[in-house]
A and B are shown apart, each in its own frame.
Chain A
């Protein structure tokens, strides 16, 4: 079975500073990787995903994540954060070709952007 570790439960960062949210996974077979975001009092929304192809994937609001197979990582980065990025971010993994119901989520990282 696969597992996900998000190393930081909380990350405070000043506005316009860069941020990296770390995610490591464990699996003996090929995986799909996802980042979901949860804004206060809302459900989760897909931010970006890696299924195959280019190991660098980007979201529409400036986040990017790079799949690193050798380090089994899928860290999320943004070069300059905004107040509106304050939210909880969840990394998730599923086996390649598996259905969505086989997603395994990490415990989440709360990003707080400080004005």
Chain B
């Protein structure tokens, strides 16, 4: 199994839908992250969980709702998104101040 697994890899949703992105890490790390990657923009940190507690929330709209039920799983719940939310959503994990290990991403298209 790869270190960080994201599902689904591709998601198309309407603005009124509710969907969730899932991330699972098999590396025994104690921190997990959601990043948003849009074309021609720097990678944007959305949320950080360390030891299952949210430690960072970079002014992300409330239509994005993270959940971290345990140190191996991270979800991003999506509700009433806008077309400008279309992007690649990357999950990552790390151990303390170590390097980030990324998943392959979930490509989201909002119609």
Closest residue on chain B to residue A107 by CB atoms: B42
Chain A residues bordering chain B, tally (CB within 8 A): 23
Nearest chain B residue, comparing its CB with the CB of A46 = B99
- Interface size class on chain B is 20 to 34
CA distance A97 to B98 in the complex (A): 10
Instruction: Check A115 for interface membership: any CB of B closer than 8 A.
Output: no
Which A residues are in CB contact (< 8 Å) with B20? none
Residue A101 contacts which of B40, B45, B103 (CB distance < 8 angstroms)? B45
B residues whose Cβ falls under 8 Å from a Cβ of A? 4, 6, 31, 33, 40-43, 45, 48, 50, 55-56, 90, 92, 94, 96-100, 102-105
Query: 6 nearest interchain CB pairs?
Result: A43-B102, A105-B43, A101-B48, A100-B94, A46-B99, A44-B102
